[in-house]
Structure 1
């Protein structure tokens, strides 16, 4: 892992929500995980039995990770091992996202969302 020093004069984050992380410093391993069911309906209706992730295959299917089998030769020269940033301005960080200032060893991020839209047929005569 390349070793550099990060120097940030000012950072302003308006909102951090839903298991997101703001990390300052070096990390060996970062793992973010988020899952959500987004149900959009034409009529207002709530069913308390909804929200079971195991019903939807999208939440249990394995993610194919194709191994990198290419030989990579890399030579680096760090003339200035300091990354300098004057100002960072972030509107929002959400759903297990990570804002990280520093070095990272391994990073693994996963987000799974099931979108469901329930609308009436055009000729049903029913209005919401």
Structure 2
């Protein structure tokens, strides 16, 4: 893997949360993974089994990764082997995201979110 110097003059990040990474410099493998349930309800009724990730098919299905069949050829000439960044200003890095300044050999990112909306049946709004 080609190595270069990563130089950042000023970096300001307000939040890095939920399995996220702030990486300055080279890395061999970057692997981000996150699962989340987003539940929206008209009323606060809890059934008790909402947080069971294996019960939802979206978290079990294998990711379909298409094969890469294109041949790629390029010529690289780095006169100055420095990755130079003057200023980075980020509000938030969240949900298995990566803020990376540098070289990476392999990057794999996966986020799976199950959205659930539980609405009351028509006519049952007064039962609340």
**Normalization by structure 1: what TM-score?**
0.89
> In structure 1, what is the equivalent of residue 77 of structure 2?
77
- Match runs of 1:40-79 below 5 Å: 40-79=40-79
> How far apart are the structure 1 equivalents of 2:46 and 2:100?
38
Q: Is there any run of 5+ residues in structure 2 with no aligned partner, and where?
A: none
Kept after mapping to 1: 8 A contact 2:32/2:110: yes
- CA drift of 1:69 comes to 1.2
> In structure 2, what is the equivalent of residue 107 of structure 1?
107
Kept after mapping to 1: 8 A contact 2:33/2:111: yes
Render the CA deviation track for 1:44-101: whole Å, top value 9, x for unaligned.
1233332111111100111111111122121122233222211111100111211122
State the SS of the aligned residue for 1:111. Answer: strand
> How far apart are the structure 2 equivalents of 1:83 and 1:72?
23
Taking only aligned residues, the RMSD between alpha carbons, in angstroms, comes to 1.7
Tell me the matched-pair count. 128
> In structure 1, what is the equivalent of residue 92 of structure 2?
92
Kept after mapping to 2: 8 A contact 1:120/1:126: no
Q: Is there any run of 5+ residues in structure 1 with no aligned partner, and where?
A: none
Q: CA, structure 1 residues 9+126, in 2 after alignment: closer, same or farther (shift >3 Å)?
A: same
**Normalization by structure 2: what TM-score?**
0.89
> How far apart are the structure 2 equivalents of 1:125 and 1:30?
48
> In structure 2, what is the equivalent of residue 34 of structure 1?
34
State the SS of the aligned residue for 1:126. Answer: helix
- CA drift of 1:22 comes to 1.3
